[in-house]
Amino acid sequence: MDTSVRSMIERKRSQPSATDVLAALVQARDEDGAVLSDDELIGHTFTLFVAGHETTSNALTWTIFLLSQHPDILADLLDELDGALQGASPTMEKLNQLPLLEGVVKESLRLLPPASIGMRITGSPCVLGGFFLPKGSNIFYSPFVTHRLPELYPEPNRFHPKRWAGLKRSPYEFLPFGAGPHMCMGWAFAMQEMKVVLAMLLQRYRLFVVDHTKIEPNLNMRPKYGMPMRIFPQGRQFQRGTVRGAIHQLVDFNE
């Protein structure tokens, strides 16, 4: 990977008109005119690759799993997609006309956020929750915990996408991408990416979790034992498979 990225960096240096993210990093200058070193460029590129790929793929995995375990919600979502898209790929305009799809993505990110733990460092001494924290203290927070506070989200372990039809939460109450100045810079792209993938995939295919699969996330919110699924043409034959594992402690599957 190191060799591949170095080769990409050299290509971008020979393409001054390029406008992609790596080109922007290569062309970046600070106030003194200094540029990023090759090692710094490789580090940033690797971070962008991981942040832009793994978290979104994990989020899509959990969303597809939750829909497969809630066939009534999946049926309603397909009705919405069929009515708005009629089998076509979604345009940006059409994506804004799919409220249930928006709710499905948000509810999946609430229940099983791809980043379960975040960290901030205090820039100055402060008091937080009655505790004095000196400058430079590491503070850990958990979107996973915040998203399950019943005072914010009634029936917090239920997958209920329609709750978002009238629900408004502050950036510090719904924070799958973090919050504040260090919030994920790709959050808007990730939301659109997930909606496009789901809209195209679900219109074409039905995904069914292999029965008796053990499902539980690890600390990085990957399915610890994978997510084996059978894939069929979308025939609207909805049924819920039987799964086992710690997922039953995190999601209430009872109707």
Q: Does residue 157 contact residue 250 with C-beta atoms inside 8 Å?
A: yes
3-state secondary structure of 66: helix
Distances (CA, A) of 72 to 30, 80, 211, 239, 249: 54, 13, 19, 9, 21
Instruction: Report pLDDT digits (tens) over 27-70.
Output: 998 888 899 999 999 998 888 777 778 889 999 999 999 999 99
Instruction: Report pLDDT digits (tens) over 191-227.
Output: 999 999 999 999 999 999 999 999 999 988 999 999 9
Q: Report the share of the chain in percent with pLDDT over 90.
A: 69
Q: Does residue 187 contact residue 66 with C-beta atoms inside 8 Å?
A: no
- Around Cβ 132, how many Cβ atoms within 10 Å? 9
Domains of the chain with bracketed CATH: 37-250 (1.10.630.10)
pTM: 0.84
Looking at the predicted structure, is the pLDDT value of residue 235 above 90? no
The pLDDT assigned to 255 comes to 64
